[in-house]
Amino acid sequence: MQNMTIDKKDVFWCALVAVFALLPVVPGLITSTFTMHVLILILLFASMSQAWNILGGYCGQTSFGHSVFFGIGAYGAGMAVVTYELVPWPGVIIAAAVAAVVAVAISYPCFKLSGHYFAIATFAIVEIFNRLFMVWYWVGGALGLDYPLVDEGTLNFMWYESKNGYYYGALILFGIIFGVVRWIEKHRFGYYLRAVREGQETAESLGVDSTRIKLAAFGLSAFLTALCGGFYAQYNLRVDPPMVMSLEMAMKFVLITILGGIGTMAGPLLGAAVLIPLQEYTRALWGGLGGGVDLIVFGLLIVVVVIKQPMGIMGILRDLKKRFKRTSAKGGA
């Protein structure tokens, strides 16, 4: 009979699956509405950052323009409900497809640039779309769209007395996006993304069409980001340009991922698990005075992480793991 060996990665993924299996029972264990709100935002912002991570982390193209696609998704849901008096689902799907098309259209000329020039170009895109939506009366202009009161339930994706429905929606969205990224990691597309990140010229010399890979990454990332935007609009029951298409929102995509660990599976979740409670609890404790405390603390964390460990929290955990192994080896000797 052969001896069976269990790989450490298998143990890690089994433990992760076990944790995820417990997530659906969380609403039954938590009675605090505010705690549920924080958990929903953690799942949402982790999903948003993971969608950005496809392009910025795995492909190495730092974009500060993802709030545009987030906003398109939010407006898709908002217009379906407010303007056309429909359920939000068709609006979200159409908006996600539009976001992917817009991403490919605007990224093709931007990919002629590289490095910080590409990043600066994406900054400009956010400002352009923000100003456009501010004066575009078909989408509500500067006033935005305020949701009407409709029947609560899954069909309208709206609940008033409990946040459990939103929690399960955020959990499903989280599972879809993290599942897509997990699939990418293990398939040829993921290897192409990492090859482009490590060196575009080298990748092309090996037969990788870097332009097509980057466009595909941008389109997929924008599609998933728009789904998050649709959820965000449904959760807040309104949408306006400063709320979804702002540089502040665009920066959150990037900074959460950098804090947790860019180009890693768990990085966006770890980053969101730090930023969101910090943001929400400081505001709850100090009200208006606490509105900027989270940004100050988060900014200091980013500075420390970039200087000490560019791989973020994931890098710190890996360093601790290596140190523990060395200590165990010395103790065994």
pLDDT in tens, the chain (333 residues): 444 455 555 565 666 666 667 777 777 778 888 999 999 999 999 999 999 999 999 998 888 989 999 999 999 999 999 999 999 999 999 999 999 999 999 988 888 777 778 888 888 899 999 999 999 999 999 999 999 988 999 999 999 888 999 999 999 999 999 999 999 988 999 999 999 998 888 888 888 888 899 999 999 999 999 999 999 999 999 999 999 998 889 888 888 998 899 999 889 999 999 889 988 888 877 765 555 676 777 778 778 777 777 788 888 888 777 777 777 666 665
The total domain count for the chain is: 1
CA pair distance 330, 309, nearest whole angstrom? 25
Residue (of 213, 162, 167) closest to 187 by Cα position = 213
The answer to whether residue 2 is domain-embedded is no
Does 1 map to a domain? no
Beta carbons within 10 angstroms of residue 212's beta carbon: 10
What is the spatial distance between Cα 228 and Cα 69, in angstroms, rounded to a whole number?
A: 9
Instruction: Please report, for the domain that includes residue 290, its CATH number.
Output: 1.10.3470
CA–CA distance from 89 to each of 85, 94, 95 (Å)?
A: 12, 9, 10
Report the pLDDT value the prediction gives residue 110, as an integer from 0 to 100. 82
| DSSP code string of 148-215 | PP---BTTTTB-SS-SHHHHHHHHHHHHHHHHHHHHHHHSHHHHHHHHHHH-HHHHHHTT--HHHHHH
Is 193 inside a domain boundary?
yes
Q: Is residue 245 packed enough to be buried (19+ CB in 10 Å), middle (13-18) or exposed (0-12)?
A: buried
Helix (H) / strand (E) containing 239: strand 238-239
Give the whole-angstrom CA distance, residue 126 versus residue 278: 26
CA-closest candidate to residue 43, choices 67, 26, 29, 64? 26
| Residue 3, in any domain of the structure | no
The single-letter code of the amino acid at 241 is P
The answer to whether position 303 is within a domain reads yes
CA dist 66 → 33, 49, 94, 201, 284 (Å): 30, 10, 17, 26, 28
| 280 inside domain | yes
> How many Cα atoms occupy the beta-carbon half-sphere of 112 within 13 Å?
5
- Domain holding 225, by residue range, is 8-332
48 found inside a domain: yes
Residue 101 lies in a domain: yes
